[in-house]
Homo-oligomer: A and B are copies of this chain.
Amino acid sequence: MVEQGGGAAGAGCMGCPLRQRGEWCVLNEEETRFLSRHLKKRRYRAGETIFSAGEPSHGIYCVTSGTAAIRKGDAEGNTVLLRLAYPGDTLGYRGLLLGENRRYHAEALGPSKICFVDRAVVKLLLERNPALGQQFLRRIASDMDEAHDHLVRNATLSNRDKFIHLLRALLNRHGRTATDGGRFMELPLSRRDLASMIGARHETLSRIIGRLEEDGIARFSGRTVYVARSHSLLNEIGPSTLLD
């Protein structure tokens, strides 16, 4: 299950399509080889846990393919899906930087490949290449922005509008253009998870979906969503960031 080296089979990180993206893009060839030798790549099945709240942070994870979900729970046992992570995204830097235990739960949403980089390796690379630290700073800062945007929307919009926002963000990642010019996608999430992302109950989300269909804005069938181009009036909410 665990193999050494990331990216394309046998080529290690050198051939990894993500070498150009994410924070690692600042590494030179030698550093990349070093990373390549020391990371552990692993496949996850749908629903499999990557790490859980409460456990110590031994390193960071880097999504190579697939989609991961970051969940966070509160004292009362409620659980919220905070965000999704896609290829090129880095997970778990928070616990690593602060030397704290994990506060989130991360799991693969579908079959995924995710690389693990041990704390010691990260530390070494950070010392060797200060630009990497910069990259992480930028990443965290932009994650902050995302979280704050999310906060503002949650405080401001109705559940319906929050869901439309979410749909738009998901369409950006998972959508395809249909032959008739409309857009469709396979939702990567259950209704429950979608509901938790907008802070509503799943029953409420069901009704919101019903209303969207009545209004001719979108059609839902299981996890398939279709949005007519003319009704890409998801623009009724305004511009969006990639994912929120």
Which residues of A pack against B, CB within 8 Å?
72-76, 78, 80, 82, 93-94, 97-98, 103-104, 133, 136-138, 140-145, 147-156, 196-199, 238-239
In this complex, the member of A78, A97, A152 whose beta carbon has the largest number of chain B beta carbons within 10 angstroms is A152
Q: Is B97 a contact partner of A145 (Cβ separation < 8 A)?
A: no
CB distance from A167 to the nearest CB of B (A): 17
Contact status B76-A156, CB under 8 Å: yes
Residue of B82, B145, B153 near A148 (CB, 8 A) is: B82
Q: How far is the CA of A217 from the CA of B103 in the complex (A)?
A: 32
Q: Write out the residue numbers on chain B whose beta carbons fall within 8 Å of the beta carbon of A150.
A: 151
Q: Is the interface of A mostly helix, strand, loop or mixed?
A: helix
User: How many whole Å from A90's CB to the nearest CB in chain B?
Assistant: 13
Contact of A147 (CB < 8 Å), options: B142, B147, B196: B147
26 chain-A/chain-B pairs, Cβ below 8 angstroms: A72-B151, A74-B149, A74-B153, A76-B156, A76-B238, A78-B152, A78-B156, A80-B152, A80-B156, A82-B152, A93-B141, A94-B145, A98-B138, A104-B148, A136-B137, A137-B137, A140-B140, A147-B147, A147-B148, A150-B151, A151-B151, A154-B155, A154-B199, A155-B197, A155-B198, A155-B199
